[in-house]
């Protein structure tokens, strides 16, 4: 990246002088470089590289063969000429030996050679045989070796003949040659001619090869220097560019840019460099983008959790020696999900952006702010001696609380829950410290939100305990250690038992003298909900409750059983299908089953909730809203849903007698239920006064310890069998 910056700010023409990354030979000045490079290339590249190049070999072979062929053609021509010369010479010798020996006085019909003269010519010269003819082709005499040439017509007068072994040569002396009216065929010795010609050929071939080699070498050196070597140089640079296009290790061209090859190399070099620069720019832009995507949150532009951990690690490392502590604060916006669901994501996003902006602009410069999750932010800073991590958290909470966030001209007063941890007090590993701050944050949320919680080791224990409960619960489900208790529900006007709520019980075996103890559903149900284990547990409870309802029906009493269904069951399982299966399996009438859902179900996904409730209602099952009055839901859904009963949360009943607000809420719920044609049931009825209050307000049904605690099914059966049908018998 540094290279890109450099190449951006410095003109390319100066690059070779200041350490251009492409120029690996910049230790010498350009002239020295050039000379050295040229010489080196001439002797090393020029000889070694060129002779390694296939192209060079092809050119060399073509040049060599061409020269050889030209020379061979010339040689063939000169050899024939040489041979002809030799024959001419021996013809001349023979003629000058024969002509003086001819008799000037001989008649036309007799041979002009006497036997004696002929013998002398034959014995003293290269002539070995003679045949003498008259001009009308009469053989006049024959001497020495017989000649092979037959003089049959005057057309043959120009012919010559050579014996197959090359030792004899015959030619014809015509009247013009002899200046006499005879034709003489002379057979002469020609055995020296062949060796002479062969010798001549040998010499010529050697010269030919030497010449070809010389010319080829000179040509190759010249070609190599001016053409092949630059091409190889260009090829090497192109290969380097292909191998490493964004940072090619290419050499500066030593070739004259004024000739065509040098110019072509220069153009190619600048294209390679330009391409490398483009690629570097693209790469660095892509890297920037990837870095942004990997380390920054797109919505708020704040660093994300990954970068936060990196920064934390870096701060931990740099402050190790000075033993300075770090504050790690995590913050979660309270009920942000409600805002998102009710006002839409645009509003939610605007609030998140507002929080990010407020935190990053208001906190001191040395603080590092990140978006750590959906509505979770994290802050870290080095602590001074006068500051504690809690001080930082209070500052952060104050910043959020300081004034409402304005979105589309509406004010949203946001509260937050904060978790605080300190490095290194709460962990050696920065990542671990952040996790501990998160644990503290969860604790703050569990304790009712809008508060700051500092991490304590006890939290860890709590988390471990929860894991242990989850493991044990899984075991309990498998080993059938869960049971269902039933608590009766009464019609307040008639006093009859109209139903029972099925409540799960877990008897956890231990080594105590009782052999075990009950674990409250309030303790393990939330853990089962968080882990998803509530789905099989809920299914088991429903099956168990329906089996019991069926047994009671068979024993003569129709008692409707209310089964609690948690939000997780609503969304994680096919509740409708399972309910149908259980009804079918157990054969219980659908109206003997009631499902109790809490208001939270409507807040998660309203359309799924509406649809599921409709389908359940269609099966004939009754629906009650449990703990009514504690949720945040709007009343409008009550009309949309298929519900039969509102169940006033027990907290309103407990306090109705001493808290006018709670009494007012209880009354309102009763009136609301009636105006919507719903039954209203009150739970947590413990005393006669509670009961009197509910009778006075016209509540329909009751459930509570005043009548019976939840009991095992046999006890329940005994209770309803003995029950005389009058609530007045309960005189607590």
Query: Contact positions toward ligand C2E, by CB under 6 A?
Result: 487, 503-504, 520-522, 525, 534, 538, 541, 564, 566, 596, 626-627, 650, 683-686, 703-705, 710
223 interacts with, out of ligand C2E, Mg ion, none, CB within 5 to 8 A per kind: none
Nearer to Mg ion, 326 or 616 (CB): 616
CA count, 13 A, side-chain hemisphere, 156 = 18
Alpha helix (H) residue ranges in 404-456:
430-446
The tokens of 214 are what? 């010389």
Other beta carbons within 10 angstroms of residue 3's beta carbon come to 16
579 interacts with, out of Mg ion, ligand C2E, none, CB within 5 to 8 A per kind: none
Nearer to Mg ion, 430 or 684 (CB): 684
CB 703 → Mg ion: shortest distance, Å?
9
Sign of CA dihedral 60, 63, 67, 69: positive
The span from the CA of 529 to the CA of 548, in Å, is 25
Strand, helix or coil at 681?
A: strand
- CA 167 to each of CA 26, 91, 601: distance values in angstroms, whole numbers, following the listed order: 76, 14, 127
Strand, helix or coil at 649?
A: coil
Nearer to ligand C2E, 141 or 567 (CB): 567
Contact call for residues 246 and 286 (beta carbons, < 8 A): no
Nearer to ligand C2E, 359 or 504 (CB): 504
**Of 543, 536, 604, 602, nearest in space to 573 by CA:** 536
Contact call for residues 326 and 440 (beta carbons, < 8 A): no
CB 647 → Mg ion: shortest distance, Å?
6
Nearer to ligand C2E, 397 or 597 (CB): 597
CB 568 → ligand C2E: shortest distance, Å?
8
CB 630 → Mg ion: shortest distance, Å?
9
CB 289 → ligand C2E: shortest distance, Å?
47
Nearer to ligand C2E, 430 or 704 (CB): 704
CB 348 → ligand C2E: shortest distance, Å?
29
704 interacts with, out of ligand C2E, Mg ion, none, CB within 5 to 8 A per kind: ligand C2E
β-bridge partners, 519: 506
DSSP character for 504? E
662 interacts with, out of Mg ion, ligand C2E, none, CB within 5 to 8 A per kind: none
**242-245: long-range pairs with CB below 8 Å, 24+:** 245/275, 245/276, 245/279
CB 569 → ligand C2E: shortest distance, Å?
7
42 interacts with, out of Mg ion, ligand C2E, none, CB within 5 to 8 A per kind: none
Sign of CA dihedral 46, 265, 269, 16: positive
CB 380 → ligand C2E: shortest distance, Å?
39
566 interacts with, out of Mg ion, ligand C2E, none, CB within 5 to 8 A per kind: ligand C2E
- CA 382 to each of CA 243, 307, 311, 328, 453: distance values in angstroms, whole numbers, following the listed order: 47, 17, 11, 9, 19
Nearer to ligand C2E, 414 or 601 (CB): 601
424 class by beta-carbon count within 10 Å (0-12 exposed, 13-18 middle, 19+ buried) = middle
**Of 404, 256, 269, 381, nearest in space to 328 by CA:** 381
Nearer to ligand C2E, 439 or 563 (CB): 563
269 interacts with, out of ligand C2E, Mg ion, none, CB within 5 to 8 A per kind: none
β-bridge partners, 503: 485
Give 1's contacts (C-beta < 8 A, 6+ positions apart).
280, 284, 287
41 interacts with, out of ligand C2E, Mg ion, none, CB within 5 to 8 A per kind: none
542 interacts with, out of Mg ion, ligand C2E, none, CB within 5 to 8 A per kind: none
- CA 134 to each of CA 57, 110, 141, 184, 665: distance values in angstroms, whole numbers, following the listed order: 66, 8, 10, 9, 165
CB 492 → ligand C2E: shortest distance, Å?
15
Other beta carbons within 10 angstroms of residue 116's beta carbon come to 9
DSSP character for 483? E
CB 445 → ligand C2E: shortest distance, Å?
19
473 interacts with, out of ligand C2E, Mg ion, none, CB within 5 to 8 A per kind: none
541 interacts with, out of Mg ion, ligand C2E, none, CB within 5 to 8 A per kind: ligand C2E
Nearer to ligand C2E, 132 or 537 (CB): 537
CA 93 to chain centre: 97
CB 459 → ligand C2E: shortest distance, Å?
24
CB 590 → Mg ion: shortest distance, Å?
19
Nearer to ligand C2E, 121 or 482 (CB): 482
Contact call for residues 122 and 180 (beta carbons, < 8 A): no
Q: Where are the beta strands (DSSP E) in 6-146?
A: 127-134, 139-144
Nearer to ligand C2E, 444 or 541 (CB): 541
CB 434 → ligand C2E: shortest distance, Å?
33
CB 376 → ligand C2E: shortest distance, Å?
28
332 interacts with, out of Mg ion, ligand C2E, none, CB within 5 to 8 A per kind: none
538 interacts with, out of ligand C2E, Mg ion, none, CB within 5 to 8 A per kind: ligand C2E
CB 540 → ligand C2E: shortest distance, Å?
9
Nearer to ligand C2E, 193 or 484 (CB): 484
Binding site for Mg ion (CB under 5 A): 564, 596, 626-627
- CA 627 to each of CA 5, 261, 568, 677, 699: distance values in angstroms, whole numbers, following the listed order: 66, 91, 17, 19, 15
164 interacts with, out of ligand C2E, Mg ion, none, CB within 5 to 8 A per kind: none
315 interacts with, out of ligand C2E, Mg ion, none, CB within 5 to 8 A per kind: none
Kindly state the greatest CA–CA separation across the chain. 191
**Of 214, 210, 149, nearest in space to 184 by CA:** 149
Residue with tokens 């050579």: 162
Q: What does DSSP say about strands 416-423 and 452-454: parallel, antiparallel, or unpaired?
A: parallel
Contact call for residues 492 and 707 (beta carbons, < 8 A): no
111 interacts with, out of Mg ion, ligand C2E, none, CB within 5 to 8 A per kind: none
Nearer to ligand C2E, 522 or 556 (CB): 522
Contact call for residues 568 and 561 (beta carbons, < 8 A): no
Nearer to Mg ion, 168 or 703 (CB): 703
CB 487 → Mg ion: shortest distance, Å?
9
Contact call for residues 375 and 333 (beta carbons, < 8 A): yes
Nearer to ligand C2E, 300 or 566 (CB): 566
CB 660 → Mg ion: shortest distance, Å?
22
CA count, 13 A, side-chain hemisphere, 524 = 24
Strand, helix or coil at 11?
A: coil
Nearer to ligand C2E, 265 or 500 (CB): 500
367 interacts with, out of Mg ion, ligand C2E, none, CB within 5 to 8 A per kind: none
Give 643's contacts (C-beta < 8 A, 6+ positions apart).
613, 623, 624, 625, 678
Nearer to ligand C2E, 542 or 638 (CB): 542
DSSP character for 251? P
């Amino acid at each position: 990246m540094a290279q890109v910056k450099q190449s951006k700010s410095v003109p390319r023409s100066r690059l070779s002088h200041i350490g251009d990354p492409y120029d690996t030979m910049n230790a010498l000045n350009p002239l020295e470089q050039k000379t050295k490079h040229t010489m080196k290339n001439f002797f090393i590249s020029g000889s070694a590289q060129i002779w390694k190049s296939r192209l060079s070999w092809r050119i060399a072979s073509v040049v060599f063969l061409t020269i050889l062929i030209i020379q061979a053609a010339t040689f063939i021509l000169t050899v024939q000429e040489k041979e002809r010369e030799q024959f001419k010479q021996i013809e001349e010798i023979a003629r000058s030996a024969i002509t003086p020996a001819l008799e000037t006085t001989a008649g036309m019909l007799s041979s002009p050679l006497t036997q004696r003269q002929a013998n002398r010519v034959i014995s003293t010269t290269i002539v070995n045989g003679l045949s003498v003819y008259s001009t009308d082709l009469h053989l006049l005499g024959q001497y020495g070796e017989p000649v092979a040439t037959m003089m049959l017509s005057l057309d043959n007068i120009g012919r010559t003949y050579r014996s197959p072994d090359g030792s004899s040569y015959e030619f014809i002396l015509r009247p013009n040659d002899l200046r006499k009216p005879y034709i003489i065929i002379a057979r002469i010795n020609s055995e020296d001619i062949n060796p002479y010609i062969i010798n001549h050929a040998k010499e010529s071939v050697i010269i030919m090869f030497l010449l070809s080699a010389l010319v080829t070498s000179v040509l190759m050196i010249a070609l190599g220097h001016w053409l092949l070597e630059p091409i190889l140089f260009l090829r090497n640079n192109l290969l380097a560019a292909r191998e490493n296009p964004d940072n090619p290790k290419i050499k500066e061209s030593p070739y004259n840019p004024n000739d065509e090859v040098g110019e072509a190399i220069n153009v190619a070099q600048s294209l390679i460099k330009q391409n490398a620069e483009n690629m570097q720019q693209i790469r660095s832009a892509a890297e920037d983008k990837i870095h942004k995507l990997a380390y920054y949150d797109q919505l708020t532009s704040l660093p994300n959790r990954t970068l936060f951990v990196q920064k934390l690690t870096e701060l931990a490392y740099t402050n190790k020696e000075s033993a300075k502590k770090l504050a790690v604060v995590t913050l979660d916006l309270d009920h942000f999900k409600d805002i998102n669901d009710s006002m839409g994501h645009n509003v939610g996003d605007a609030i998140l952006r507002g929080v990010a902006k407020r935190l990053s602009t208001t906190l001191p410069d040395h603080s590092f702010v990140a978006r750590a999750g959906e509505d979770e932010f994290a802050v870290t800073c080095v602590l001074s001696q006068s500051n504690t991590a809690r001080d930082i958290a209070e500052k952060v909470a104050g910043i959020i609380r300081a004034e409402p966030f304005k979105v589309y001209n509406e004010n949203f007063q946001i509260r937050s829950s904060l978790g605080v941890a300190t490095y290194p007090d709460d962990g050696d590993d920065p990542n671990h410290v952040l996790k501990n701050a998160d644990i503290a944050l969860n604790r703050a949320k569990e304790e009712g939100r809008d508060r700051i919680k500092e991490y304590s080791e006890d939290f860890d224990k709590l988390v471990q305990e929860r894991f242990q409960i989850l493991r044990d619960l899984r075991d309990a489900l498998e080993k059938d250690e869960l049971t269902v208790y039933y608590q009766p529900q009464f019609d307040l006007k008639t006093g009859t038992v109209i139903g029972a709520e099925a409540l799960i019980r877990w008897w956890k075996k231990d080594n105590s003298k009782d052999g075990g103890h009950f674990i409250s559903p309030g303790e393990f149900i939330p853990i089962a909900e968080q882990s998803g284990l509530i789905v099989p547990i809920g299914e088991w409870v429903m099956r168990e409750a329906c089996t019991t309802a069926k047994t009671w029906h068979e024993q003569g009493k129709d008692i409707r059983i209310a089964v609690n269904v948690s939000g997780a069951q609503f969304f994680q399982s096919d509740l409708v299908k399972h309910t149908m299966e259980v009804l079918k399996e157990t054969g219980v009438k659908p109206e003997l089953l009631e499902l109790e859902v809490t208001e939270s179900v409507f807040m998660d996904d309203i359309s799924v909730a509406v649809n599921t409730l409709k389908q359940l209602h269609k099966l004939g099952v009754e629906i009650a809203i449990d703990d009514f009055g504690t949720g945040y839901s709007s009343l409008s859904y009550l009309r949309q849903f298929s519900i039969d009963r509102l169940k006033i949360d027990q907290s309103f009943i407990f306090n109705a007698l001493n808290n006018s607000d709670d009494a007012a809420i209880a009354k309102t719920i009763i009136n609301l239920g009636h105006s919507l044609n719903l039954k209203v049931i009150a739970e947590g009825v413990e005393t006669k006064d509670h009961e009197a209050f509910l009778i006075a307000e016209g509540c329909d049904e009751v459930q509570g310890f005043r009548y019976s605690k939840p009991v095992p099914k046999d006890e329940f059966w005994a209770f309803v069998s003995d029950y005389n049908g009058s609530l007045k018998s309960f005189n607590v």
